[in-house]
Amino acid sequence: MSAVITASGLSKRYKSSLALDNVSFQIAPGRIVGLIGPNGAGKTTALKAILGLTDFTGSLNVLGFDPRKQRDKLMGEVCFIADVAVLPRWIRVREVVDFVANVHSRFDRKKCEAFLARTKLQPGQRVRQMSKGMIVQLHLALVMAIDAKLLILDEPTLGLDILYRKQFYQNLLEDYFDENKTIIVTTHQVEEVEHILTDLMFIRDGKIVLDADMDAVGERFIEVMVNSDNAAAARTLKPLDERQVFGKSIFLFDGVERAQLEALGEVRRPSVSDLFVATMKGTYA
Amino acid sequence: MKTFYWLVKREFWEHRGGFFWAPVITGGVSLLLTLMSLVTGEILGRRNNLFHFDGGDSIGPNGHLDVSMLGNVGGVLDCVLFGVIALMLGIMAIVVFFYCLGSLYNDRRDRSILFWKSLPISDGQTVLSKVASATVVAPVIACIVGVVTGLLLMLMVACAASLHGLNLWQLLLHVHPLQVIASVVALIPLYVIWALPTAGWLMLCSAWARSMPFLWALLLPPASLLMVWWFGLLGLFKVGAGWFWGNIVVRLLMSLIPGGWLRDVPALGHGLHADTPDALLDFLGVAQNYAALASPDLWIGAIAGVAMIAAAIWFRRWRDDS
């Protein structure tokens, strides 16, 4: 199957800084891609470019459309939740369902009402009377009822309590995602999305510094817990990162033979957040 | 088309207060005030025995007025109807002014634009639905509420008059509500053309300003007037400040007021000479008003308005600050 998104030589310059610096990548259908980077790394700019919300240089193809020229057609196939609470505050549940049902051809009203029935939302309730978590529930119910090929989530769970956050991703996985859909998600709560991602992209200073599927990440990056007597030997293999826990050293290696590392100590798969911290070292310095 | 209908409906949902409740409350208040003054008149009149009302020769045996009197009374009541509609349209002009200023700015400020932009709707459709809401939907609602209020008002006055021996139904038969409504409805297309420069200017500011569209919209035209006047002082610029005021500043800021086009109707340019209600009604007649179509002023303004709306669509599409 052809790629959902193909970007090549994507650049975007704001007045003082380069938000995207000659970025190229491809995203295949049926993937859940985590786009992860520190604040100001260019995540949101990349998503805005994909959604046609901002101008850029380079070439970008999303589902066969150029987001700069065919934005309204593209949005028939793409759904988007920008960080929480962008639903207009004056609108009622009933009104927003009516509206989306009548302007979006891929919207399934029954599905949406079924999702809403599982929440405490009332048809006459206005967005301004809802808590942040309820607003996200409403938005998610709308988006999940749209049979879109690509779903883009930009910090969807920012500021939500853990119940809503867990439920959010659970709903997405159980009731929405399938092999015909693609999800791109950016978030700072890496631990929460780690287990659902199929692909990982790290972005730093407008550049993609890591772009791999999770299996490849597991093969390439290895964490080893090393006793102090082996620490010096481990350091000669040029670890990405080293930290101390209970008198032992934990080293993170990139592309070193697994057999070689197993000789040094206990080998395990690094968590995405440890990998992230190691990769982004010195970003704010 | 369906999308456009729902976009307009969305505007109505959001601005139900300004578009619907403002005229309805105004109508209710004016009915209440009329009722209060009628009751006051009755009570004070009775207490002090002020009513020695005999219509002289013009009232016949059964409380019927003679023909010429009747014509005049009918005309007066038509004028009342017009007056109420004019009041509603005045309120509407204020509402629409602020509506236009906020229409492409408020959702950028609260970032709900990101939700609207996540739907398969072109920015052109969005902006045009707002133009239609401002120039068509709001005036139509104001007219309907105005007509209903005006008719109720007449009914109240006629009831009061019938208490004093005037024949109620005969009186009401001489009112021409349908004619009034027809001419008001017929004037709406003219209103749209006339209002375009102000609607366009306000929406352009609303789409363009990063903050405080109100100040930009309100200050730029007078500031440029100042520049024109100053250049005029220096003799660099042939255009007079008076011309600039009348044709640029007023057109950019005040064209939402209905009837502004009457200044361009040559026959009326010398002021109003209406001795009878019927003459006044002629003045408000459709043909008179549409004579304004002959003035280039109206059309140049409309073209400028369309250009500013096009610019607003462009800014709506590419302004990237949310």
Residue B250 tokens, joined: 């007023």
Tell me how far the alpha carbon of residue B44 is from its chain's centroid. 36
What does the DSSP assignment read for B20-70? IIHHHHHHHHHHHHHHHHHHHHHHHHHHHT------GGGB-TTSPBPHHHH
**Closest B-chain CA to A81:** B115
At residue A35 the predicted structure's pLDDT band, cuts being 50, 70 and 90, is very high
* Shortest alpha-carbon distance between residue B121 and chain A (Å): 5
- pLDDT for A85 equals 67
Mutate to test the interface with A, among B115, B122, B320 (most CBs of A within 10 A): B115
- pLDDT for B277 equals 63
Residues contacting residue A29 through CB under 8 Å, at least 6 positions apart: A1, A3, A4, A149, A179, A180, A181, A182
Q: Are residues A91 and B13, on separate chains, in Cβ contact within 8 Å?
A: yes
Residue whose entry in the numeric block shows the structure tokens 């942040």: A132
Q: Are residues B121 and A72, on separate chains, in Cβ contact within 8 Å?
A: yes
Q: Dihedrals φ, ψ of A210, to 5°?
A: -150, 130
Residue B174 tokens, joined: 């001489």
The CA-atom distances, in angstroms, between A123 and each of A87, A94, A96, A138, B9 are 15, 5, 10, 11, 18
Residue A273: other Cβ atoms inside 10 A = 14
- pLDDT for B269 equals 46
Report, in angstroms and rounded to the nearest whole number, the Rg of chain A calculated over CA atoms: 21
* Shortest alpha-carbon distance between residue B190 and chain A (Å): 31
Rounded CA-CA distance B77/B64 in Å is 17
User: Average pLDDT in the A72-83 region?
Assistant: 89
- pLDDT for B33 equals 93
Checking if the pLDDT of A242 tops 60, the result is: yes
With beta carbons less than 8 A apart as the criterion, state whether A69 and A108 touch: no
User: Average pLDDT in the A214-240 region?
Assistant: 86
- pLDDT for A198 equals 93
- pLDDT for B62 equals 55
With beta carbons less than 8 A apart as the criterion, state whether B92 and B140 touch: no
Which among B121, B123, B320 has the least Cβ separation from residue A103? B121
Residue B223 tokens, joined: 């500031």
Residue whose entry in the numeric block shows the structure tokens 């919207």: A107
Rounded CA-CA distance B178/B197 in Å is 31
Q: Are residues B320 and A48, on separate chains, in Cβ contact within 8 Å?
A: yes
Rounded CA-CA distance A157/A159 in Å is 6
Number of alpha carbons in the 13 Å side-chain half-sphere of residue A24:
4
- pLDDT for B22 equals 95
Which helix H or strand E contains B133, and what residues bound it?
none
Which among A75, A86, A92 has the least Cβ separation from residue B111? A86
Full pLDDT tens readout for chain B, 322 residues: 799 999 999 999 999 999 999 999 999 999 999 899 888 888 887 777 665 555 455 555 555 566 666 667 777 777 788 888 889 999 999 999 999 999 999 999 988 999 999 999 999 999 999 999 999 999 999 999 998 998 888 888 878 877 777 776 676 777 777 777 888 888 889 999 999 999 999 999 999 999 999 999 999 998 988 888 888 888 776 677 788 888 888 889 998 988 888 777 665 544 455 556 666 666 667 777 888 888 888 899 999 999 999 999 999 999 887 6
Rounded CA-CA distance A168/B98 in Å is 39
Rounded CA-CA distance B204/B130 in Å is 12
Tell me how far the alpha carbon of residue B147 is from its chain's centroid. 13
Rounded CA-CA distance B3/B237 in Å is 48
Q: Dihedrals φ, ψ of B192, to 5°?
A: -60, -50
Rounded CA-CA distance B50/B249 in Å is 52
Q: What is the pLDDT of residues B51-82, one digit of tens each?
A: 555 545 555 555 556 666 666 777 777 778 88
The most confident of the ranges A68-72, A80-84, B133-137, B258-262 is B133-137
Q: Are residues A48 and B121, on separate chains, in Cβ contact within 8 Å?
A: no
Q: Are residues B6 and A102, on separate chains, in Cβ contact within 8 Å?
A: yes
Q: What angle do CA A28, A29, A30 make, to 5 degrees?
A: 120
The CA-atom distances, in angstroms, between A215 and each of A28, A86, A199, A218, B208 are 15, 35, 9, 5, 47
Mutate to test the interface with B, among A14, A47, A53, A127 (most CBs of B within 10 A): A53
Burial (CB < 10 A; 0-12, 13-18, 19+), residue A171, is middle
Task: Indicate the range of A168-182, A218-232, B175-189, B242-256 predicted with least confidence.
Answer: B175-189
Checking if the pLDDT of A83 tops 80, the result is: no
SS3 A212: strand
Checking if the pLDDT of A159 tops 90, the result is: no
Rounded CA-CA distance B130/B79 in Å is 32
Which among B112, B120, B318 has the least Cβ separation from residue A75? B120
Residue B19 tokens, joined: 């578009």
- pLDDT for A157 equals 87
Maximum alpha-carbon separation in chain B: 76
- pLDDT for B68 equals 67
Rounded CA-CA distance B316/B124 in Å is 8
What does the DSSP assignment read for B243-257? HHIIIIIHHHHHTTS
* Shortest alpha-carbon distance between residue B79 and chain A (Å): 39
What's the whole-number average pLDDT of chain A?
89
* Shortest alpha-carbon distance between residue B213 and chain A (Å): 20
With beta carbons less than 8 A apart as the criterion, state whether B276 and B75 touch: yes
Cα pseudo-dihedral A224, A227, A232, A237, rounded to 10? -10
Give the residue ranges of DSSP H helices in B61-112: 67-103, 106-109
Checking if the pLDDT of A187 tops 90, the result is: no
pTM for the complete prediction?
Answer: 0.88
- pLDDT for A18 equals 87
Which segments within B142-277 are labelled E, that is strand? none
Residues contacting residue B170 through CB under 8 Å, at least 6 positions apart: B64, B65, B70
